[in-house]
Amino acid sequence: MINWAAVPKTELHLHIEGAAPPDFIRMLAAEKNVDLSKIFNDDGSYVWKDFAEFLQTYEAACSVLQTPDDFRRLTEAVLDVSAAHGVIYTEMFLSPDFCGGGDLEAWKDYLAAMTVGAENGKAKHGIETRFISTCIRHFGPEKAVQTAKITALTAGGLLTGYGMGGEERHLHAADFSKSFEIAAEAGLGLTSHAGEICGAESVRETLDSLNVTRIGHGVRAIEDADLIARLVEEQIVLEVCPGSNIALNVYPTWGDHPIEKLRKAGVPVTVSTDDPPYFYTDMTREYRKLHETFGWGLADFQAINRTAMKAAFCDDKTRQRLMAKFE
């Protein structure tokens, strides 16, 4: 029987706040004398029944993340969990809007603190970390341009990517093209959430407008054969988060999830967890469920991880060193 936790893994789609372990948030709340008891189940996990309650719980948990040092500690706590599930390379989504309120100098402080956390995680576990700065779609295009400018001014080191998260149904991808142009000029890798809540057209609009090499989620591309052909031809990598999609009822069961169909069609797919403790998952569970549902074995996961490392927003030396782990 395979010990899935011990299998080396690459993760490209992980929101740092959404990956906050419940124990860590409870500890931080106790230190700050904040009562967050209502957002936890009796077993200590996060409480939510529908998307609205998920957002409420998420916001409440994030309310105790207030200082750069809180985010340093959060980074270390997240990497402790990732490393325990075999992750050797991870990319985390961060946002200047949440880390410093969009102020450049404050963002520098938060980024420096999270970089220390990542370096501590590497020293402790050997895990490599890179950061993806994100604009928030429902904050609008003007705010996105500000976020891109802040990101461009601080690009380098562990900050190697730029993306967009938030409410996918808000406006059009083209409305955010300027912010992605700014990030591209700074040499950052580009990705954007699309094709999760909205359908295949969301993915197409994103490809047409933002010049991304990766799509966050993107699973609803399966609804359009022409789009699938385009993804294969252009080798656009999908950051697929099956457990997240099922928890949020994008698909009812693992058997209904299209990751296997996408892969068989030749679409480059990867596996990530999104906001793992909220969706009661982790990388070990994702691998185990994909093995149980689709029969994926070690060779399949090695191929998935090679795809992820090729698409990773990191330097070639790091890429080649870690790629050897998946041969």
DSSP character string of 71-127:
HHHHHHHHHHHHHHTTEEEEEEEE-TTTSSTT-HHHHHHHHHHHHHHHHHHHHHH--
HSE (side-chain half, CA atoms, 13 Å) at 170 = 13
| Beta carbons within 10 angstroms of residue 50's beta carbon | 10
Which tens digits make up the pLDDT trace of 306-322?
999 999 999 999 999 99
Residues 41, 139: Cα–Cα separation, whole Å: 31
* 196 annotated active-site: yes
Residue 148: CB partners within 8 Å, gap ≥ 6? Answer: 135, 162, 178, 179, 180, 182, 183
Token pair 């990191």 is found at 314
Which tens digits make up the pLDDT trace of 62-92?
999 999 999 999 999 999 999 999 999 999 9
Please report, in tens digits, the pLDDT of each residue of the chain (327 residues total). 899 999 999 999 999 999 999 999 999 999 999 999 999 999 999 999 888 888 899 999 999 999 999 999 999 999 999 999 999 999 999 999 999 999 999 999 999 999 999 999 999 999 999 999 999 998 899 999 999 999 999 999 999 999 999 877 878 999 999 999 999 999 999 999 999 988 999 999 999 999 999 999 999 999 999 999 999 999 999 999 999 999 999 999 999 999 999 999 999 999 999 999 999 999 999 999 999 999 999 999 999 999 999 999 999 999 999 999 998
> What's the chain's length in residues?
327
Nearest to 6 by CA among 80, 85, 75: 85
Angle between helices 68-84 and 104-125 (to 10 degrees): 30
Selected catalytic residue, list 196, 205, 239, 260:
196
